[in-house]
Homo-oligomer: A and B are copies of this chain.
Amino acid sequence: MGGMALDLNVDTVQLTEDLVNIESVSGNEQQIADAVEEALSGLAHLEVQRFGNTIVARTNLGRDERVVIAGHIDTVPLNDNLPARRDPGEGGNLHGLGTCDMKSGCAVALRIAATMPEPNRDITFCFYECEEVEAERNGLFLLSQSNPELLEADFAILMEPSDAVVEAGCQGTLRVDVLTRGERAHSARSWKGVNAIHGAAEVLARLNAYEPRKPVIDGLEYHEGLNAVFISGGVAGNVLPDECRVSVNYRFAPDRSEEEAVAHMHEVFDGFELEICDSAPAAMPGLGVPAAAAFVEAVGGTVNPKFGWTDVARFSVLGVPAVNFGPGDPHLAHKADEFVPLEHIRTVERQMRVWLGETA
Knowing A204-B200, A208-B201, A246-B197, say if A189 contacts B308 (CB, 8 Å). yes
Q: Do the beta carbons of A204 and B208 come within 8 Å of each other?
A: no
Contact B237 A190 (CB under 8 A): no
Of A173, A191, A249, most B-chain CB atoms within 10 Å: A249
User: Are B234 and A231 in touch, CB under 8 angstroms?
Assistant: yes
A147 at the interface (CB under 8 A from B): no
Does residue A195 face the partner (Cβ distance < 8 Å to B)?
yes
User: Of the 9-residue stretches A3-11, A155-163, A222-230, which lies at the interface with chain B?
Assistant: A222-230
* Known interface pairs A200-B204, A249-B187, A308-B186; A234-B240 also in contact (CB < 8 Å): no
Taking a contact as CB atoms under 8 Å apart, the answer to whether A190 and B251 are in contact is: yes
* Interface secondary structure of A, over-half rule: mixed
Chain B CB within 10 Å, residue with most, of A173, A208, A212, A227: A227
Known: A187-B251, A198-B227, A229-B238. 7 other contacts (CB 8 A): A190-B251, A198-B207, A228-B241, A229-B236, A229-B241, A231-B231, A237-B249
- Interface residues in chain A, defined as those with a beta carbon under 8 Å from any beta carbon in chain B: 171, 173, 175, 186-191, 195, 197-198, 200-201, 204-205, 207-208, 212, 223, 225-241, 244, 246-247, 249, 251, 307-309
A-B contacts, 29 of them at CB < 8 A, read: A173-B187, A173-B238, A187-B225, A187-B249, A188-B307, A188-B309, A189-B223, A189-B308, A190-B212, A190-B225, A191-B223, A191-B225, A195-B207, A197-B207, A197-B246, A198-B208, A198-B227, A200-B204, A200-B231, A201-B204, A229-B236, A229-B241, A230-B234, A230-B237, A230-B241, A231-B232, A231-B244, A232-B234, A238-B249
